[in-house]
Chains A and B, each alone.
Chain A
Amino acid sequence: MDSLIQYSYIVAAALFIFGLKQLGSPATARRGNGLSAIAMLLAVVAGLLDQGIVEYQWILLGVVVGTVIGAAAARLVQMTAMPEMVALFNGFGGLASLLVGWAALAPGSATFTLVTIILSILIGGVTFTGSMIAYGKLSERIGSGAVLFSGQQVVNSLIVLGILAGSVMFCLQPANHFWLYLVVALSLVFGVMAVIPIGGADMPVVISLLNSYSGLAACAAGFAVNNNILIVAGALVGASGIILTQIMCKAMNRSLANVLFSGFGSGKVEQTAVEGEIKPISAEDAYYILEAASNVAIIPGYGMAVAQAQHVVKELAEMLERNGCEVNFGIHPVAGRMPGHMNVLLAEADVPYEQLLEMDDINPRMENVDVAIVIGANDVVNPAARENEGSPIYGMPVINVDKARTVFVLKRSMASGFAGIENPLFYKDNTRMLFGDAKESIGNLVREFSV
């Protein structure tokens, strides 16, 4: 029986790997996810054959409760609420790993097992509370800004020291539960402390990193309970999360350390006076320009998600295409609150993925674009990142909308972006500001086209 279980795990691992590989291409991604789900099912069934299991009713209860909640949440969630949903699921995974590590603690465990137990508790705990804070920030249940206070570094250092000391003492004196409780409590606190100083626009990095942690926590739990499949699947997730984190950091031209510790966007920013004036435009005038355009690029940002404007944006794109105009979307890697956020929203609105261009593909075409429409994006189209060495975002790769012949910026008001940085784009000669709610503004344009 035991070797049957082990061989099933091998098959499951192969299916996970194959599934992840297929997730890498749009044409096969859905099948890949299905394969990975089959792998999970196989691993769970094999796990149920374990001879250590003498009663099934409680397991069944847990599985039923989890399935009902998980399925309901997955079905009911709005596409715009996807970032916080992912954070929430991630947190549950982390907490589960913490509990597994803790429950695996048995009298007389070897030191190596104790180390892996404490690791799964630590990583699981940080993942849990970190994800909960990320969930709170993304769903705006708590303020999404960076929370900084004086002495924060000192407090965090003390927590880390406490965790280290507690972990060492736990491994030396596993029978003394005080150390265990100390590490559990401190790792939960540390998860909170690690995410509160990170502001909303840096969330894509945080979510990918927490995703990676939840994999590593499962991996550590795998060592604690001596289970191959946990180690393999956990490590795959850990590695993929780290890669995504790297991509996100690169897209912001910042190091991971800078994202995690600097509290970007909360510090004072020296303002350089921007010359030029703001030129508002009415929907009617904007329509005349669009009507004459033969090449339009749409650059969405978090504002499009907030205004739920993706469907009306798609409508506008269709109108333009019917008018003989070429329409492309330019997607910045960190636009929105999670990696690929804009792509999902536009997919929901039925925009084919070939029309969504990555930053490096749209930038070379920008000079041929008649009108670039910026919808609720700010920092990712800020030319200061290219031109102004004093700017906090100098060096960050941006979508060069200012190189288009005309730029429309849809914006609610003149408030600066998340990072609190002036955007010289708004003052350029070829920029026109279309003030108002993004959904309404685009709705007005669509109406102009219909009459």
Chain B
Amino acid sequence: MISATVFLTFILMLTIFLGFELINKVPATLHTPLMSGANAISGITLVGALSLAGTGRHDLANWMSVAAVALATINVVGGYLVTDRMLAMFRKKGS
């Protein structure tokens, strides 16, 4: 039986290679939106915080997770909106 850890590490390895391939050919014009869009994705840690923030045990771990939910949400919501605001400004000639 192969452990879950091995599977997860396998996924990690493949994803890193995929990430390199995806980003490699982005034109310089899009570097800022790409960075801030990627930054919003890193707020995915929100999903991890959710389950830890609703345990019903009102201990330190629970409150830390609630704080993590708030912080990660700022990262996610702010990141996507600001990226969208930037991308809305990029326009082709004549449009």
Q: Name the prevailing secondary structure of the A interface residues.
A: helix
> Which residues of B lie under 8 Å from residue A358 when comparing CB positions?
27-28
* CB atoms of A89 and B74 under 8 A apart: yes
Q: Is the CB of A99 within 8 A of B29?
A: no
- Interchain CB contact under 8 A, A340 and B33: yes
Which residue of the partner chain, among B54, B75, B80, contacts A92 with CB atoms under 8 Å? B75
Residues of B within 8 A of A211 (CB): 35, 38-39, 42
Query: Please, which residues of chain B bring their CB within 8 A of the CB of A32?
Result: 37
- Which residue in B8, B39, B90 is a CB contact (below 8 Å) of A214? B39
Does A279 sit within 8 A of B, measured CB to CB? no
Contact yes or no, A103 B90, CB < 8 A = no
Task: Select the residue from B11, B45, B75, B83 with max chain A CB neighbours within 10 A.
Answer: B45
Encoded as 1 (CB less than 8 Å from any B CB) or 0, chain A from 193 to 231 comes to: 000000000000001100100110111011111111111
0/1 string, B33-47, CB within 8 A of A gives 1:
111111111111111
A24:B34 contact, CB within 8 angstroms: yes
Q: Give chain A interface residues in 38-95, CB to chain B under 8 Å.
A: 40, 43-44, 46-48, 50, 52-56, 58-59, 61-63, 65-67, 69-71, 73-75, 77, 79, 82, 85-86, 89-90, 92-93, 95
B18 in contact (CB, < 8 A): yes
Which A residues lie within 8 Å of B51 (CB)?
A: 47, 50, 52-53, 225
Q: Contacts A214-B42, A237-B42 hold; do A26 and B50 have CB atoms under 8 A apart?
A: no
The distance from the CB of B60 to the nearest CB of chain A, in whole angstroms, is: 8
| Contact partner, A355, options B42, B52, B87, B93, Cβ 8 Å | B93
CB closest residue in chain A, given B91: A352
Contact A218 B42 (CB under 8 A): yes
Query: Given A43-B47, A89-B79, do A96 and B22 touch, yes or no (CB 8 Å)?
Result: no
CA distance A235 to B37 in the complex (A): 14
Contact status A226-B4, CB under 8 Å: yes
State A383–B91 Cα separation when bound (angstroms).
Answer: 33
Instruction: Give the distance in Å from the alpha carbon of A60 to the alpha carbon of B79 in the complex.
Output: 19
- Using a Cβ cutoff of 8 Å, how many contacts connect chains A and B? 379
Residues of chain A at interface, number, CB under 8 A: 112
- In angstroms, Cα B72 to Cα A356, docked, is 34
Residues of chain A from 244 to 268 with CB closer than 8 A to chain B in the complex: 244, 247
**Smallest CB-CB separation from A359: which chain B residue?**
B28
Residues of A within 8 A of B5 (CB): 112
**Chain B residue nearest in CB terms to A232:** B15
> A244 and B48 in contact (CB under 8 A), knowing A70-B73, A340-B32?
no
Name the distance in Å between B32's Cβ and chain A's nearest Cβ: 4
Tell whether A7 is near chain B: CB-to-CB under 8 Å: no
Task: Say yes or no for A353: interface residue by CB 8 A criterion.
Answer: yes
Cβ of A325 under 8 Å from chain B = no
Q: Note all chain B residues with C-beta closer than 8 A to A37.
A: 40, 80, 84
- B17, B35, B49, B72: the one within 8 Å of A338 (CB): B35
Q: Please name all residues of chain A whose beta carbon is closer than 8 Å to the beta carbon of B69 when the two chains form the complex.
A: 58-59, 62-63, 66, 96
Chain B positions 1-26 with a Cβ under 8 Å from a chain A Cβ: 4-5, 8, 11-12, 15-20, 22-26
Are A340 and B30 in contact, with the CB atoms below 8 A?
yes
Chain B residues with CB under 8 Å of A93's CB are 39, 42-43, 45, 71-72, 75
Among A19, A50, A100, A358, chain B packs the most CB atoms within 10 A around the CB of A100
State whether A344 touches B54 (Cβ < 8 A): no
Q: Is A369 an interface residue (CB 8 A)?
A: no
Is A16's beta carbon under 8 Å from chain B? yes
Q: Is the CB of B47 within 8 A of A44?
A: yes
* Nearest-Cβ distance from residue B57 to partner chain A, whole angstroms: 9
Q: How far is the CA of A102 from the CA of B79 in the complex (A)?
A: 24
Chain B residue contacts of A27, Cβ below 8 A: 92
Is the CB–CB distance between A243 and B77 below 8 Å?
no
**Cα distance A335–B77 in the bound complex, in angstroms:** 28
- Residues in B neighbouring A77, C-beta threshold 8 A: 82
- Inter-chain contact A97/B53, CB cutoff 8 Å: no
Best-surrounded residue of A30, A217, A354 (most CB of chain B within 10 A)? A30
The 10 A-B pairs of least Cβ separation, nearest first, read A66-B73, A239-B19, A340-B31, A62-B69, A70-B78, A70-B77, A53-B54, A339-B31, A74-B81, A340-B32
State the B residues within 8 Å of A (CB): 4-5, 8, 11-12, 15-20, 22-56, 61-62, 64-95
A-B contact pairs, 25 of them (CB 8 A): A20-B38, A29-B30, A29-B33, A29-B90, A43-B44, A53-B51, A63-B73, A66-B70, A66-B73, A69-B74, A71-B77, A77-B82, A82-B32, A100-B49, A102-B61, A103-B52, A105-B61, A211-B42, A218-B44, A219-B12, A229-B47, A243-B19, A243-B24, A347-B29, A355-B93
Please name 16 further chain A to chain B contacts, defined as beta carbons within 8 Å, in addition to the given A17-B22, A52-B55, A62-B69, sorted by A numbering: A20-B19, A27-B92, A33-B40, A59-B53, A62-B68, A70-B81, A73-B74, A74-B81, A79-B89, A93-B45, A96-B68, A237-B19, A239-B18, A343-B30, A352-B95, A353-B90
